[in-house]
Amino acid sequence: MESQRTILITGVTTGLGHALTHRMIAKGHILWGCGRSKHELTQLSLQYPAPHVFKQVDVSDWTQVSVWAQSLTQTGQSPDLLINNAGVINQNAPLWEISATEFDTLIGVNVSGPANIIRAFLPVMIQNGRGIVVNISSGWGRSTAPEVAPYCASKFAIEGLTRALAQDLPAGLAAVTVNPGVINTAVLRSCWGDGAQKAPSPDEWAEKAADFLLEITPSHNGQALNVA
C-alpha cells in the first residue's frame, strides 16, 4: 500500500484542482487546499474534516499566503507534494485590447501566486529534506496562440521560473512543470466555447493524473512533463 503523503494544492474550488483534491483524498492522502470560493471551501471542509485543511486564500496576496503557510508549518510539517494549480486566463482579445488591470491580475495569480506559495512553503520542505514542487503549466507555456498573449506570457514565465528553481534546490527535492493537456475546464471553455466539450472532464483527467503526479521523484528535477 502506498504511504500516506501530505499534498498541497492551490485552486481547489474549481476545475482540475477540485477534481484532483477528491482523487488524492480517495487514495488516502492528506490534503492542504486553498481557493477563493468560500462556499466551496466550506463544503470541502465538511466533506473532508481534519487532518485535511481548506482555507480561503488569494495566492497573489503574499500576506494571506504567508499567514496560511505559518499556520500549517509551525510544527515542522511540510507538504510532500506541492501543486501550484490556481490560474486564470484573459478574455480572448489581442494584447493591445486587454486592460492593464486584467493583465496585472492574471500575472498576479499565474506567476506571483506560485512564487508566493513556493517562498512560503519551500524553506520547511528544504529543512525536512524532501518534497516535490509541481507548477501546472500549459501547452501555451511552450507554444503560442492568438488572443491569449497574457496567458501565454504567464505560462512561459512559469516554465522559466521552474527550471531556474530546480537549479537552486538541494538533493532530495525537485521542481517540475506539468502540462495537463486539453481538459474541459472553464479556462478552455472561455477560449474554445462549445468545442471544449470534446475534451475529457476534470474528473476523467484526475483519474490518471493523480497517479502520474504521485510518481514524480527527485530524479525528474527541472523537467517539463506532460500528463500521458
Q: What is the pLDDT along the chain (228 residues), one digit of tens a residue?
A: 579 999 999 999 999 999 999 999 999 999 999 999 999 999 999 999 999 999 999 999 999 999 999 999 999 999 999 999 999 999 999 999 999 999 999 999 999 999 999 999 999 999 999 999 999 999 999 999 999 999 999 999 999 999 999 999 999 999 999 999 888 766 655 666 666 567 688 999 999 999 999 999 999 999 999 996
pLDDT per position as a tens digit, 73-83:
999 999 999 99
Name the grid cell of 198: 470534446
Q: Which CATH number belongs to the domain containing residue 120 in this structure? A: 3.40.50.720
Q: How far apart are CA 161 and CA 141, in angstroms?
A: 12
State how many domains the chain has: 1
In a domain, 107, yes or no: yes
Domain limits at 186? 6-226
pLDDT at 188: 57
Q: Give the residue from 49, 48, 66 showing the smallest Cα distance to 58.
A: 66
pLDDT at 201: 87
Q: How far apart are CA 79 and CA 122, in angstroms?
A: 9
The pTM (predicted TM-score) of the whole model is 0.95
Q: How far apart are CA 35 and CA 37, in angstroms?
A: 6
In a domain, 1, yes or no: no
Q: How far apart are CA 56 and CA 39, in angstroms?
A: 10
Name the residues annotated as catalytic: 151
